[in-house]
Structure 1
């Protein structure tokens, strides 16, 4: 393993779960604000599964997804965080767990959901890592098996968050958005271009996704790296 790879792994393993490690911080409070906004964004329907995506890589979607999972669990809900990024998964680094078995194994019927799900340091929060990277991610995510899995987890958990690949890179996020109850789009201040954000919104709308809102990551004028706004 090269030095660059080792440094990347070190950075991923030290990804901040501030909602867990420092729940009284102002940033953790921002995540609770996002949680409330998500809950109130769909008062007329039962919102149980949400996809978190971004236009491009390195805009903070996985950190947002993980911290949202923590604050929903802290509310007393049974929460499952699914790493549905079957191309460049990171959830196992964030939660310091192994990734030998996960979503890809469940979808190919090698193991059951119960055998693949892992506990976390946060009470009421369980994690389903990606598992081995398959050769056909989009096909697996759009399969009948994925539909069946989502039906199963909705019966076992109160809230399900899916960390998906960036929407402008591959079609995976569109596929998942069509299968779930809503989408949270993460954009990064000073990084995400306006055209990219607009294109991401158009792709989600073409997939008939319900865009719940936007998390504006690294928004300087907020005194915190997170900000939530409606689409």
Structure 2
């Protein structure tokens, strides 16, 4: 047979063999898909008991994940609280460590003994242990508000709510010229910070005159009063806020004003109070500023027209907010807060002592109409508990 014929015959044989191989592969794939489809149909024909068991297993796995996340979050909150405690007690522990070390070294060398490196290390280590124990005792004896729910229920106090700490991350969400608590309430109404004051203003809906007062300077009474007033304005209520702190004038300075006339002059002429009220254009909030007093002896306590001014404002506005001086700084703040229908004592989370809050409430002499609002609650807490996932 010629070579060309043999070559053609072998080519035909190879082609036939390739066709057979492809057919077998296709048949195998088809049978594999049929088996897979059969297994899927069998899986779909499960009993109701197996289906219920799968739902139970899924719910159990979800609860396990939630419990694990809460445990991790609790650990993070404990570490954050430990870091805050270490920051508060750092100066005290360092000073006590230094004094105890010097005392130990002096006691060792006072008897004529030679001070060696092991002896010095022993005294310094013992002094560090004494300092750490002293710092721990001092931290545990602070007796501050660390659980809003227990503070309200176990101690019989009326707690209206708590505002979270306004962090730098939250402020970066605002325009550069509005990075303030008022800007957060105005431009981020869905934030937890704005929601806290929205709940607060709804809790004081039935009160015409509300006084905000802190136990000490820096507790945030001015900020809480301003944010609550702005939140009430957003809800459609006509609100005026009065700066009653003539010495610090924190509210007036916060608006960037230096008026020559203010609340003190309005008390002298209560019928002309409209001439002293100004408006904040961004929020539409009305406020009565405090001008710099000519004499430090002139206060609102000695003004006979202050009650008449409050009556005039109550008739014109739905809500009158008083920003009062600290309760424990002078008698001026508690006296002015007594003119309000409700007094709100502002306390800082884990900073304001509970004894100071109680003393401030006693100075107001309004046990039935005095409430507490907790300020600057750290992230991760809500009313003293871990936030739910």
Give the TM-score normalised by structure 1: 0.79
Match of 2:320 among 147, 152, 160: 160
What CA distance in whole angstroms lies between the structure 1 residues aligned with 2:179 and 2:248? 17
The question of whether the paired residues in 2 share the 8 Å contact of 1:104 and 1:132 is answered with no
Shift of 1:221: 6.1
RMSD: 2.5
Match of 1:135 among 286, 290, 296: 296
Match of 2:181 among 7, 16, 35: 16
What CA distance in whole angstroms lies between the structure 2 residues aligned with 1:67 and 1:110? 26
Structure 2 gaps, min length 5 = 1-177, 385-389
Counterpart for residue 378 of structure 2: 220
Shift of 1:146: 0.1
Counterpart for residue 212 of structure 2: 52
Q: Given the alignment of the two structures, is residue 82 of structure 1 paired with residue 246 of structure 2, yes or no?
A: no
Q: Which deviations, in whole Å up to 9, do the C-alpha atoms of 1:87-107 show, x marking residues without a partner?
A: 111112322333322101212
What CA distance in whole angstroms lies between the structure 1 residues aligned with 2:381 and 2:282? 27
CA, structure 1 residues 97+200, in 2 after alignment: closer, same or farther (shift >3 Å)? same
What CA distance in whole angstroms lies between the structure 2 residues aligned with 1:216 and 1:16? 15
Give the count of matched residue pairs: 205
CA, structure 1 residues 33+71, in 2 after alignment: closer, same or farther (shift >3 Å)? same
Shift of 1:84: 0.5
Q: Which deviations, in whole Å up to 9, do the C-alpha atoms of 1:60-109 show, x marking residues without a partner?
A: 11000000010111111110000001111111232233332210121234
The question of whether the paired residues in 2 share the 8 Å contact of 1:80 and 1:160 is answered with yes
The question of whether the paired residues in 2 share the 8 Å contact of 1:78 and 1:124 is answered with no
Structure with bigger helix share is 2
The question of whether the paired residues in 1 share the 8 Å contact of 2:238 and 2:319 is answered with yes
What CA distance in whole angstroms lies between the structure 2 residues aligned with 1:196 and 1:173? 15
Counterpart for residue 94 of structure 1: 254
CA, structure 1 residues 209+144, in 2 after alignment: closer, same or farther (shift >3 Å)? farther
The question of whether the paired residues in 2 share the 8 Å contact of 1:50 and 1:183 is answered with yes
Q: Given the alignment of the two structures, is residue 31 of structure 1 paired with residue 202 of structure 2, yes or no?
A: no
Match of 2:369 among 199, 203, 211: 211
Corresponding residue SS for 2:339? coil
Shift of 1:34: 1.1
Counterpart for residue 8 of structure 1: none
Q: Which deviations, in whole Å up to 9, do the C-alpha atoms of 1:135-167 show, x marking residues without a partner?
A: 2354x2353200110111111111100000000
Corresponding residue SS for 1:86? coil
* Aligned 1:112-131 pairs, distance under 5 A: 112-131=272-291
The question of whether the paired residues in 1 share the 8 Å contact of 2:201 and 2:228 is answered with yes
What CA distance in whole angstroms lies between the structure 2 residues aligned with 1:110 and 1:35? 27
Counterpart for residue 188 of structure 1: 348
Corresponding residue SS for 1:186? strand
CA, structure 1 residues 24+14, in 2 after alignment: closer, same or farther (shift >3 Å)? closer
Structure 1 gaps, min length 5 = 1-12, 40-45
